[in-house]
């Protein structure tokens, strides 16, 4: 008998393999509806579902996403050989989709936070830009101007502001909307830095480095 959630399925008249498929479906739906399972069981099911989805998408993106493959290639050229163990799927207790830890040299993908694989792709490219900057430019993450610069680049070069793909196709005209999005998101991230005392300081840091960092599209300035 597969790992059934209740006991009335033996009367369904299905063969063992049908039964197992049936059970899987039922389980999938119960994760969504919460029907027929205890809250604890549902949370455990949901967490496992998030973890498996995150691992699956991560594997697919590392193997098939042109943007992720491109970043991994350039990280390697910069001395960072990133493997799948350096990109960690984990539950996050805050409202973010991902993070980069300079100490660990690793990227965290916040499982359960992604609307779809495209969203996870944008987040992963964003964090890999931070990793690239850290490897290539010796970023001091407590220096708000350094942090602001990497956020501007990561927001602009990933699909976070829905522009990365066009940029990678060679369209280099940045729209005003794209710039506003990159600036807004960069200010929010710098504001969250423990070394940042207030909103005005975050905004100032972003403004001070804007010109040079927004126009620095490395490594995407290379044709691929
Ligand atoms: Zn960031």
* Residue ranges of domains in the chain: 39-115, 139-223
* pLDDT number for residue 175: 77
Task: Round the average pLDDT of the chain to a whole number and report it.
Answer: 85
* pLDDT number for residue 162: 75
pLDDT above 60 (res 6): no
Q: Which residues pair with 88 in a beta bridge?
A: 108
* pLDDT number for residue 31: 67
What is the whole-number distance in angstroms between the Cα of residue 47 and the centre of ligand 1? 25
CA 22/CA 1 separation, integer angstroms: 12
At a CB cut-off of 8 Å and minimum separation 6, what does 176 contact?
Answer: none
**What number is the average pLDDT over the span 105-126?**
94
Among 47, 52, 103, 127, the one annotated catalytic: 127
* pLDDT number for residue 15: 53
What is the whole-number distance in angstroms between the Cα of residue 130 and the centre of ligand 1? 7
Q: What percent of the chain has pLDDT over 70?
A: 79
Please name which of 193, 200, 97, 88 lies closest in space to residue 149, comparing C-alpha atoms.
193
20: which 2 tokens? 């197992």
Output Rg (C-alpha) for the chain, integer angstroms: 21
What is the whole-number distance in angstroms between the Cα of residue 9 and the centre of ligand 1? 48
What is the whole-number distance in angstroms between the Cα of residue 119 and the centre of ligand 1? 14
CA 159/CA 167 separation, integer angstroms: 9
Q: What is the dihedral of CA 108, 109, 113, 118, to 10 degrees?
A: 150
* pLDDT number for residue 213: 97
Q: How confident is the model at residue 41 (pLDDT cuts 50, 70, 90)?
A: confident
For the question of residue 121 being annotated catalytic, the response is no
CA 158/CA 124 separation, integer angstroms: 8
* pLDDT number for residue 5: 34
Query: Is 110 or 220 the better-scoring residue by pLDDT?
Result: 110
- Ion ligand 1, residue ranges at CB < 5 A: 151, 154, 189
Q: Out of 36-40, 60-64, 160-164, pick the least confident.
A: 160-164
Query: Is 21 or 179 the better-scoring residue by pLDDT?
Result: 179
Write the pLDDT tens digit of every residue in 122-152. Answer: 999 999 999 999 999 989 999 999 999 999 9
* pLDDT number for residue 13: 43
* pLDDT number for residue 58: 98
What is the whole-number distance in angstroms between the Cα of residue 66 and the centre of ligand 1? 20
CA 22/CA 30 separation, integer angstroms: 12
What is the whole-number distance in angstroms between the Cα of residue 17 and the centre of ligand 1? 46
The model scores a pTM over 0.85: no
CB of 151 closer than 8 Å to CB of 213: no
């Amino acid at each position: 008998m597969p790992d059934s959630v209740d006991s009335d399925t033996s009367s369904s008249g299905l063969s063992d393999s049908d039964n197992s498929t049936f059970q899987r479906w039922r389980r999938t739906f119960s994760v969504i509806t919460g029907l027929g399972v205890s809250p604890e069981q549902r949370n455990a099911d949901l967490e496992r579902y998030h973890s498996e989805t995150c691992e699956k998408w991560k594997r697919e993106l590392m193997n098939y996403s042109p943007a992720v493959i491109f970043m991994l290639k350039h990280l390697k050229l910069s001395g960072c050989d990133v493997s799948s163990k350096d990109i960690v799927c984990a539950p996050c207790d805050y409202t973010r989709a991902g993070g980069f830890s300079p100490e660990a040299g690793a990227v965290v993908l916040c499982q359960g936070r992604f609307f779809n694989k495209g969203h996870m792709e944008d987040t992963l490219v964003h964090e890999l830009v931070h990793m690239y900057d850290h490897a290539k430019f010796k970023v001091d993450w407590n220096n708000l101007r350094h942090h602001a610069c990497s956020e501007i680049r990561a927001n602009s070069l990933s699909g976070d502001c829905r522009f990365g793909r066009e940029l990678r196709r060679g369209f280099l005209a940045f729209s005003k909307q794209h710039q506003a999005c990159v600036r807004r998101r960069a200010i929010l991230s710098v504001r969250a830095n423990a070394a940042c005392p207030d909103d005005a300081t975050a905004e100032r840091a972003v403004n001070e480095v804007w010109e040079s960092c927004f126009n620095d599209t490395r490594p995407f300035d290379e044709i691929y």
